[in-house]
Amino acid sequence: MEALLCRKIGDPTVPPDAAEESALTISTAHPIPQLHSPTAVRVRVRATSLNFANYLQILGKYQEKPPLPFIPGSDYSGTVDAVGTSVTKFKIGDRVCSVAGQGSFAQFIVSDESELFLVPEGCDLIAAGALAVAYGTSHVALAHRAQLHAGQVLLVLGAAGGVGVSAVQIGKIYGAIVVAVARGDEKVRFLKTMGVDHVVDSSKENVTQSVKGFLKERKLKGVDVLYDPVGGKLTKECLKLLNWGAQILVIGFASNEVPLIPANIALVKNWTIHGLYWGSYKIHRPKILEDSLKELLLWLATGVISIKISHTFNLSQANLAFGALRDRKAIGKVLITFDDEKAARPKL
């Protein structure tokens, strides 16, 4: 099978044939994984999603560091290709989706049947490959951790990225007043089409001044929930906007800077700070993860949510896919697809 191998720690945006040795190699004769247990299921991958964690893992900067070489992995979708002797939930040909710690950047992947989800009728299979991590992160963060409810002010940083778009959509579903921060005219225009209540272009405007103006106009006291996948100086500035009793959702650090949240101010203002590492729910709270993904798939099937796919690449263009992610050129999700002759090959 065709697979993407990470043979060394390094920059995944370097082309495989570049003079500088790339961290990634395309293997066209990698062994197809075999069923490892009676409840194992082999899936022919249709689409697999890129998340910032994949980029950091190849750079060697992620908390999980698999031994080299490894096939990167993330959320994916596809069709069942083979089943173990004790599998009862799935049959060959079923459309499924799941999330993997590694291994999905390949034509086939093996998973236990307990980790797979049936993709309902009405769901686009490629879109389902971009669902689990981004939308799962936002759903668990907003619904389970922050318990967001109607009328609260939700401030989403990095709102045009994969997790940002999902947070905006889920925030609107729960009836929040959504304030979105992004960079550039195209991203701002897109966010306005999503019905956000206020958009700030951080490349042109002072974020705190713009949000304060909106809050004053709407006679709102401040921000109730801060959704932050960015970190750095922007986080520090946005702390000035938070209400007494506000909740801070620490999602990630796309800025490559870990912010310092003053504990003394958190004490005085009764802030709650939530660290949200979605992948760890698979170990510590698997039922929450299962229920969350089932609800998200239902929302996708019934049109409650729609997944914005910004760029689609084939496996040989993985360096371009990671470049789109790194350079924040994507609005929504970046995917790698298999067996799709019409896959877009954008010029970045």
Average pLDDT, the chain: 92
**pLDDT score for 62:** 85
Look at residue 22 and tell me whether its pLDDT is greater than 60.
yes
Read off the pLDDT band of 250 (50, 70, 90). Answer: very high
DSSP string over 82-149: EE-TT--S--TT-EEEEE-SB--SBSEEEEEGGG-EEPPTT--HHHHTTTHHHHHHHHIIIIIIS---
| Nearest-angstrom CA–CA distance, 215 and 69 | 51
Q: Domain containing 259 — which CATH number?
A: 3.40.50.720
Distances from the Cα of 187 to the Cαs of 125, 135, 251, 347, in angstroms?
25, 19, 20, 18
| Nearest-angstrom CA–CA distance, 283 and 64 | 14
CA triple 163-164-167, angle to 5 deg: 85
Look at residue 46 and tell me whether its pLDDT is greater than 90.
yes
**pLDDT score for 120:** 93
| Nearest-angstrom CA–CA distance, 33 and 319 | 24
Q: Which domain holds residue 112?
A: 3-131+307-337
Alpha carbon of residue 273 to chain centroid:
20
Whether 115 and 150 map to the same domain: the answer is: no
Whether 22 and 153 map to the same domain: the answer is: no
Q: Does residue 296 form part of some domain?
A: no
Q: Which of 41-50, 53-62, 69-78, 186-195 has the lowest mean pLDDT?
A: 53-62
**pLDDT score for 18:** 59
| Nearest-angstrom CA–CA distance, 182 and 192 | 11
Look at residue 214 and tell me whether its pLDDT is greater than 70.
yes
Whether 26 and 118 map to the same domain: the answer is: yes
Read off the pLDDT band of 195 (50, 70, 90). Answer: very high
What mean pLDDT is predicted for residues 259-267? Answer: 94
Q: Does residue 117 form part of some domain?
A: yes
**pLDDT score for 21:** 73
Look at residue 63 and tell me whether its pLDDT is greater than 90.
no
What mean pLDDT is predicted for residues 235-240? Answer: 96
Q: Does residue 169 form part of some domain?
A: yes
Whether 142 and 276 map to the same domain: the answer is: yes
Whether 220 and 139 map to the same domain: the answer is: yes
Whether 173 and 36 map to the same domain: the answer is: no
pLDDT digits (tens, 9 = 90+) for 311-344: 999 999 999 999 998 888 889 999 999 974 443 4
In the block, tokens 């950047």 appear at 105
Q: Does residue 23 form part of some domain?
A: yes
Q: Where are the beta strands (DSSP E) in the chain?
A: 3-6, 24-27, 40-50, 75-83, 95-99, 108-112, 117-118, 153-156, 177-182, 198-201, 223-228, 242-250, 272-275, 309-313, 333-337
| Nearest-angstrom CA–CA distance, 245 and 190 | 31
Domain termination residue (choose one: 235, 263, 280): 280
Whether 120 and 191 map to the same domain: the answer is: no
Whether 143 and 256 map to the same domain: the answer is: yes
**pLDDT score for 220:** 97
By DSSP bridging, strand 153-156 and strand 223-228 are parallel
Whether 226 and 322 map to the same domain: the answer is: no
Q: Does residue 175 form part of some domain?
A: yes
Whether 158 and 251 map to the same domain: the answer is: yes
**pLDDT score for 181:** 97
Whether 17 and 71 map to the same domain: the answer is: yes
Read off the pLDDT band of 210 (50, 70, 90). Answer: very high
The number of folded domains in the chain is 2
Read off the pLDDT band of 119 (50, 70, 90). Answer: very high
This prediction's pTM: 0.91
Q: Domain containing 119 — which CATH number?
A: 3.90.180.10
**pLDDT score for 328:** 84
By DSSP bridging, strand 272-275 and strand 242-250 are parallel
Neighbours of 28 (CB within 10 A): 9
